[in-house]
Amino acid sequence: MTMAQPVDEPAVCVIGPEFIIPNPLEVIVDTNSKGSLLVTDINHKVMLKAKECNTIFHHQLLLLHADDRPIAMVRDKLLTGHKQWKVYLGDSIAKSDMIFSTQAAHVLGSRTNVHVFLANKKRKKDPWDFLIKGSWSKRNCTIYMGDVSNIIAQVIFSTFYTSFW
């Protein structure tokens, strides 16, 4: 997977400045049978971890630093058809710690559009802050800020590894 933010664009900080990378970066995403993820650089140095911590009512994924410090909790309510996710700071699920929420705009075939709303939105009718357009079959996604003419990041999967660690 290659992650990049164009150099001529201003940096956008949503979770923390340590996650802003101005140049392309190749990483390896490795998954195990329990749904956990391990993200390493090409030298196999651990960069991020993600582990499932589901409850009866929610699908949850905890993102972790390499040293197991919580970064963010990604949470989806299971018993609803809205395709909405909420992301909280650290391992919190408190409303005051919400960073942003997402909602699938539409899913056509293997193409997905996801609207991202920062937590400071006052009304649901306010426009989205970011748009993620992706294709599972083409194994890529592009992240836009404001409108579709302002690309701030791209992710291109060249290989997706699966193992049992």
User: Going from the N-terminus, what domains does the chain have, and what CATH number goes with each?
Assistant: 2-159 (2.40.160.200)
Question: How much is the pLDDT for 110?
Answer: 53
State residue 79's pLDDT score: 66
Contact 115, 105 (CB under 8 A): yes
- What is the predicted pLDDT for the residue at 162? 47
pTM: 0.78
- Nearby residues of 83 by Cβ (< 8 Å), 6 or more positions away: 103, 104, 107
CA distance 133 to 48: 23
Which candidate, 34, 9, 28, places its Cα nearest to that of 20? Answer: 9
pLDDT tens for the chain, 165 residues long, are: 444 444 455 567 888 888 877 787 888 888 877 778 888 888 989 999 999 888 778 888 999 999 999 999 999 876 666 678 899 999 999 999 999 998 887 655 556 788 899 998 766 677 889 998 887 677 788 889 987 788 888 887 765 554 444
Say which residues have a Cβ less than 8 Å from residue 110's Cβ, sequence separation at least 6. 135, 136, 137, 138
Task: Tell me the one-letter amino acid at 140.
Answer: N
Query: Would you state the pLDDT for residue 159?
Result: 56
pLDDT at 2: 45
Residue pointed to by tokens 């710690």: 97
134 alpha carbon, distance to own chain's centre: 12
